[in-house]
Structures are given as C-alpha cells and as structure tokens.
C-alpha cells in the first residue's frame, strides 16, 4: 500500500488551508451549483464548515486555470464566467474605524479601498489570462487607453499594459494602507495619499465592459466577483457591498459567502434603499439545502473517498464528477468502520446475561430501593413488605431478555405514576410480556413501545451496567454532521487519531475495521470541539452556551429517567406568543451558530405559532443523547428563561430537577414551592 500509515487524510478541514490544486482534487459536484452564469447576485450562507469557501474558490480563476490547462481562454468562454475571488478577512476592515475621523470619512475611504482591492484581483486574473493573447495584443492600445480613462485623471497614469495598470493600482492601495495605519498614531489622515484617483465602481464594472468590447472570446463571459467571509465586516461596510450589488451592471455580478449570523443588513448607500430578495439578490442556505437533500449522504461519502484516494488509501474509482448514481456501491466505505449498530442490542444484552446471573440486575436493584423508599413514605401503592417487593421483581424478570425486562420496568413505573396497585400492575405486565414474546404481537403495547424507544432502553442498560454509550457507523456520523461537511471531516479526523492510538490500521482493510471504541472517543472529541468552537463573540454568547448545556442536561435526565414519556428526545418547542423576546433572540442566535437546528416540516407549527428546535446531534455524545430525534418537549416561558439564565442561584438546575422529577420514582414530581419562588423572582434578579 503506497502511503504513510500515519498520514491522516482528514487532518485539514478548512478550505482556506488548501492549495489551489487541493481545492480542485477534493472537489465533489454539489447537488445544486453556484450557477455562475446567472447575472443575479447570490448570497451563499451557511454555518462554519458548510463548504462556502471551497465552493467559491473552486469557481475562481486560479482553479479555472487548473481545469483548462490546454486552452484556458477557450475553457473560460465555455464556462461562461471568470471568477474573481477575495476574502473580506484579508484586508482587516476594522482599520477603517475611529482614529479621530468621522464615520462619513471612513465610508468614503473604505469604498475607495474596496474598489482598488477588487480591481487589483480582477487585473491580476485578466493580465495573466490575456498575457499572449492575439486578440488582446491587437487591441492593447485601445484597451489600455479606455481603462486609463476610467480613472479621474488618466494623464497621471504612464501604464502601457494590464500588468502596469495592476502595479499602479497596487501602489494606490499601498498609499491608503500607509495613511490608514499612520492615522492610528497621528489621528490624522494624509488626504493626498487617500485622495480618490477613481470613482467607486468605475474600475470593477468598467474594465469588464472594455474587455467584452474588444476580446471576442470574452464577449459573453460573466465577471463573477466571489466575496468570501462576509461575516468579517461590520454593518456599515456591508452597506457598501450591498450598494455594489444594487448598482451592478452587465457583465458583472456577485456571489457573497458568509456565515448565517454574518449577514447584518440589506440597506444600501443608494439613498438608504434596501435590497430585496428576488429583485436584487437570491439566497442559497447551504445548511438547509444539505439537511433537506437526500443526496447529501452520497455527497458526504464522496468527500471522504476523495480524501482517501488522494493519498492512495484505496482506489475506489469515483472521479467525484459522475456522482449520485449508485448509493449501494459508494457505501463500500462504510465497511471500514465497525458498525456496532447492527449488534448493539446483543452486546448490551449478552453483558447483562453473563454478569448478573446470580444477583439482581442493576435496574432491579434500583427498583427495589425505590419501592422501599415508597413504602416508608406510604406512596408505594399496594406494597407493604419486602416480600411484596420481591414478588413485583419476580413478575417483571425475564432472565433471557433484559430488553423486555426494561420494558416491563417502564410500564410498572408508568402504573406507579398513575397511583395504581403495583402488585396488580406487575401481574398484568407479566402476562402481557409473555404474550408479546410468544405471539410477537405487533399491536401490543410492548411492541409499540419497543419500536419507538429501543435506543433509549439500550442506552439505559448501558448506563445501568456502567458501560460507555457507543456511537459508531459512518451512516450515523453523516447524520451527526447535520449537513455541514466540515463537521463530518472533524469527526473522521479524531476517529483516525484514536484508531492510531489504539494501534489500529484505519482504512487498510475491511477485515479489520476501525473499532467501536476509537469511533466513540473520536466522535466525543469532535462534539467537544464543536461546542468549544461555537463561541459567539456576541455579549450573549455565554448565555447561549449555558442554555444549550442546560437543555442537553435536561434531555439527558429525561432519557435516563424511570418513566420517560419522550422517545429519542432531542427537540423542544414553545409558543412564540408566550416567550420573552430576549429568550427568542438567544434561541435564534443559537440556531445561527448551528447549536440548534430549526424544525420546519410540520404544518401545525405555523398554524399554532409554535417554533421547534433540535439540539445539533453532533453534540449528543456530550450528554449521551440519541442521534435521531423522536419526541418533543414543550417548554414554557419560565422554563426557557431560566435555562438560559446565567446566575448563582441555580435557577436552571431547579427547572431541570422539576421536570425530570416528574418521571422518577418514588415521588414522580415534587411540590411547586420552587416554581413559585421562580415565578415570584426570589431566586434571581431580572
């Protein structure tokens, strides 16, 4: 095998760290394209790692140059566009603030700077493209003169070629850099250095018109400004780009990429007009596209295969271009992971059967303790002696099937919460369990509950036996990535690292797949990375992280409670009209950071003013939660308010205990004194 065994194919997870060649090599066709030939500007928004940078760089001129090595100009003509890529994070826009200057001055200076920045990127590409082009050389004098006429005073420019005009623009930009940087110390702007030599939009819109006029091969080509990392500039500066979009002219258009939270305004500097979706621009939300796209599973596997092929782990044979045709074939990569999901049940049940032959199983020991406490409190209905306790346990026991024992326990706790006679209830459960095991009646309550809650019951068995929860299988990791490719790569990166620590040889052979322990440890590390990485710079960032942690803890308490009425709980909902605006804002911010995922498929949500959010399942391992969502917990204003309330009075913990206690024996809920204190505001200040 031609590879270095320790080379992690998933080590680099950010497209910004790739070379142009790697961007090309790792490209996999999207279910939906950037649509570079459309004149309509498009905002590409998505969470961190959704693929924005990879998409935009792939459509840039340097990548077109790689793809069209034989005849670049012909290739660009056939593409129908030339991509001009730039990152907003690259010019440190925060410099254009304060320093003793008015906001209006900085707006003008910034607008001039952006014009030179984009013109520089454009001139670099076209000077390289037309370096020895016959049509260009034939019309060079005319082209250069027309471009020079776009400046305020063409007589100042001695340039006689595109490369010389590029050098002139670079020098103008350097003058602004010097003046702006000096201003931090002198509190003055050198007006000579920042004096505009060109009116904004003249170059970035004018140069493409000149080229379309004189270069026949470019007459029908779009000039596509690919502006990345839009979140790195503030509202005032975004207004300038919005203005460019509003005032664009053929053959120029824009693609703007940024994180969901980073699009701050639609206002322009054109008399304060606002850009309208569908009129001035369109939106592609990559997160929503992938989460609702059936083809994402195939797309995600192809990304992995491209990484493995690149360093010769195996030659799967896919080019990454013929995609989405045979999901069965491409699932061969799944075989390199030990898929514990297929025998997850047997692993847990075999352990219980072998380790607890001569003694009560831990969940029965817990029941015994609960019943004895209930007897003392006189709330174990129909139970008075230790003999009664043993009779109940005997009725619920099925030695060969611990999973059905857990079902029996659930139904007993359910009966207890309804204040039924527990001995009678245990006898009924015994009969029903026997009928279920004998007849396999799919209409029985045992069958129905097992279908909905098998994952939760197994998770409880693992916890009861002090065994680690297991997260395994590529299919689950794709689901946990929640439509964000980088999340999947991060998961696989850490799984690979743990596989090496455990002296495994990942991806060497399907006969020796990556073990469940490496997978589980890797995905847990990825979950912790994700939560740590999602640090909002906003002042509410601490509240958001606190709230997510408390909701996760609440769901954990419910999942491992005695009588959880929620199966595979990852989701909560609330009535919009009843929730404080500040709480709604925190939840919406958490959604923008992909910590929460808004659920929109149910028609009733809009009809009832209900909003529904799911915890990002990549976070599930932190709290031993499921991967796929089932039940939904309704939370009221007081509960949500306190779950996001960072204070020293443990208001959130009181809410968690209040809700989870309703599902735990022997009390199944306690008095409302603590809730009354919360409502009266005595536990924490507003």
pLDDT tens readout for residues 585-607: 999 989 888 899 998 776 566 66
Whether the predicted pLDDT of 298 surpasses 50: yes
215 and 135 Cβ atoms separated by less than 8 Å: yes
Whether the predicted pLDDT of 198 surpasses 80: yes
Q: What was the pLDDT predicted at 5? A: 54
416 and 422 Cβ atoms separated by less than 8 Å: yes
- What number of other Cβ atoms are within 10 A of residue 15's Cβ? 21
Total residue count of the chain as it appears in this document: 686
Q: What was the pLDDT predicted at 681? A: 46
Question: Please, what is the average pLDDT of the chain?
Answer: 87
Q: What was the pLDDT predicted at 343? A: 65
Beta pairing class for 252-259 and 282-285: unpaired
Report the percentage of the chain scoring pLDDT > 70: 91
Round to whole Å and give the CA distance between 482 and 492. Answer: 14
257 and 55 Cβ atoms separated by less than 8 Å: yes
Q: Pick the residue with more confidence: 16 or 223?
A: 223
3-class DSSP state for residue 111? helix
Rounded alpha-carbon distances, angstroms, from residue 206 to 197, 198, 248: 15, 11, 10
Round to whole Å and give the CA distance between 548 and 610. Answer: 19
Q: How sure is the predictor about 47, in pLDDT bands with cuts at 50, 70 and 90?
A: confident
Average pLDDT for 254-264: 90
Q: How sure is the predictor about 310, in pLDDT bands with cuts at 50, 70 and 90?
A: confident
* Contacts of residue 194, Cβ cutoff 8 Å, sequence gap at least 6: 109, 112, 175, 176, 179, 180
Report the percentage of the chain scoring pLDDT > 90: 56
162 and 144 Cβ atoms separated by less than 8 Å: yes
Lowest model confidence (mean pLDDT) among 137-146, 396-405, 517-526: 396-405
Q: What was the pLDDT predicted at 675? A: 44
Whether the predicted pLDDT of 315 surpasses 60: no
Average pLDDT for 374-391: 95
Lowest model confidence (mean pLDDT) among 193-197, 251-255, 479-483: 193-197
669 and 662 Cβ atoms separated by less than 8 Å: yes
- pLDDT, tens digit, 9 for 90 and up, residues 60-78: 999 999 999 999 999 999 9
Whether the predicted pLDDT of 332 surpasses 90: no
Round to whole Å and give the CA distance between 182 and 198. Answer: 22
Whether the predicted pLDDT of 682 surpasses 80: no
Q: What was the pLDDT predicted at 295? A: 79
What pTM was estimated for this model as a whole? 0.87
537 and 530 Cβ atoms separated by less than 8 Å: no
């Amino acid at each position: 095998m031609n590879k270095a065994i320790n080379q992690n194919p998933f080590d680099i997870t950010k497209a910004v760290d790739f070379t142009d060649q790697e961007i090309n090599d790792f490209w996999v066709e999207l279910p939906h394209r950037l649509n570079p030939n459309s004149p309509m500007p498009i905002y590409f928004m998505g969470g961190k790692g959704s693929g924005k940078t990879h998409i935009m760089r792939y459509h840039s001129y340097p990548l077109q140059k790689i793809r069209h090595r034989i005849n670049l100009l012909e290739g660009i003509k056939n593409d129908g566009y030339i991509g001009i890529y730039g990152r907003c994070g690259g010019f440190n826009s925060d410099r254009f603030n304060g320093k003793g200057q008015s906001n209006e001055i900085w707006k003008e200076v910034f607008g001039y700077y952006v014009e030179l920045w984009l013109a520089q990127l454009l001139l670099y590409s076209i000077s390289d493209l037309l370096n020895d082009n016959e049509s260009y050389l034939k019309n060079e004098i005319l082209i250069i003169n027309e471009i020079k006429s776009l400046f305020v005073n063409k007589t100042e420019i001695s340039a006689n070629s595109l490369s010389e005009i590029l050098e002139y623009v670079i020098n103008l930009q350097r003058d602004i850099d010097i003046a702006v940087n000096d201003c931090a110390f002198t509190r003055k702007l050198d007006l000579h250095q920042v004096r505009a030599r060109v009116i904004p939009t003249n170059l970035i819109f004018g140069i493409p018109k000149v080229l379309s006029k004189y270069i026949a091969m470019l007459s029908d080509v779009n000039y596509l400004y690919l502006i990345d990392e839009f979140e790195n500039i503030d509202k005032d500066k975004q207004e300038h780009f919005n203005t460019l979009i509003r005032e664009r002219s053929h053959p120029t258009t824009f693609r703007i990429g940024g994180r969901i939270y980073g699009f701050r305004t639609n206002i322009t500097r054109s008399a304060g007009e606002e850009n309208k979706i569908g009129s001035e621009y369109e939106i592609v939300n990559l997160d929503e596209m992938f989460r609702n796209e059936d083809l994402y599973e195939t797309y995600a596997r192809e990304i992995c295969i491209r990484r493995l092929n690149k360093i010769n782990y195996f030659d799967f044979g896919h080019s990454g271009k013929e995609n989405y045709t045979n999901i069965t074939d491409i699932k061969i990569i799944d075989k390199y992971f030990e898929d514990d999901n297929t025998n997850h049940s047997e692993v847990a049940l075999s352990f219980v059967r072998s380790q607890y032959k001569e003694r009560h199983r831990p969940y029965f020991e817990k029941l015994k303790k609960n019943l004895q406490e209930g007897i003392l409190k006189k709330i174990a209905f129909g139970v008075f002696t230790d003999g009664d306790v043993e009779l109940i346990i005997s009725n619920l026991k099925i030695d060969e099937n611990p999973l059905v024992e857990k079902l029996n326990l659930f139904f007993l706790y359910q009966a207890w919460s309804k204040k039924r006679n527990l001995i009678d209830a245990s006898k009924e459960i015994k009969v029903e369990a026997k009928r279920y095991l004998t007849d396999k009646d799919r209409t029985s309550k045992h069958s129905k509950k097992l279908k909905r809650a098998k994952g939760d019951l197994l998770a409880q068995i693992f916890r009861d036996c002090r065994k680690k929860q297991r997260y395994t299988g590529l299919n689950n990791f794709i689901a946990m990535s929640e439509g964000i490719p980088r999340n999947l790569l991060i998961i696989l990166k850490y799984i690979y690292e743990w596989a090496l620590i455990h002296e495994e040889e990942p991806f060497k052979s399907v006969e020796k797949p990556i073990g469940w322990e490496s997978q589980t440890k890797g995905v847990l590390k990825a979950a912790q990375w994700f939560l740590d990485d999602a640090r909002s710079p906003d002042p509410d960032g601490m509240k958001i992280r606190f709230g997510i942690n408390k909701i996760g803890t609440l769901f954990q308490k419910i999942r491992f409670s005695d009588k959880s009425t929620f199966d595979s709980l990852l989701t909560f909902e609330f009535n919009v009209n009843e929730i404080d605006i500040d709480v709604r804002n925190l939840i919406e911010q958490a959604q923008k950071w992909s910590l929460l995922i808004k659920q929109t498929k149910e028609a009733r949500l809009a009809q009832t003013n209900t909003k529904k959010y799911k915890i990002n399942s990549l976070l599930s391992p932190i709290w031993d939660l499921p991967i796929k969502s089932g039940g939904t917990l309704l939370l009221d204003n007081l509960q949500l308010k306190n779950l996001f309330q960072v204070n020293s009075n443990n208001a959130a913990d009181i809410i968690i205990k209040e809700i989870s206690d309703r599902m735990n024996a022997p009390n199944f809920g306690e008095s409302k004194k603590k809730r009354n204190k919360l409502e009266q505001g005595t536990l924490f200040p507003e």
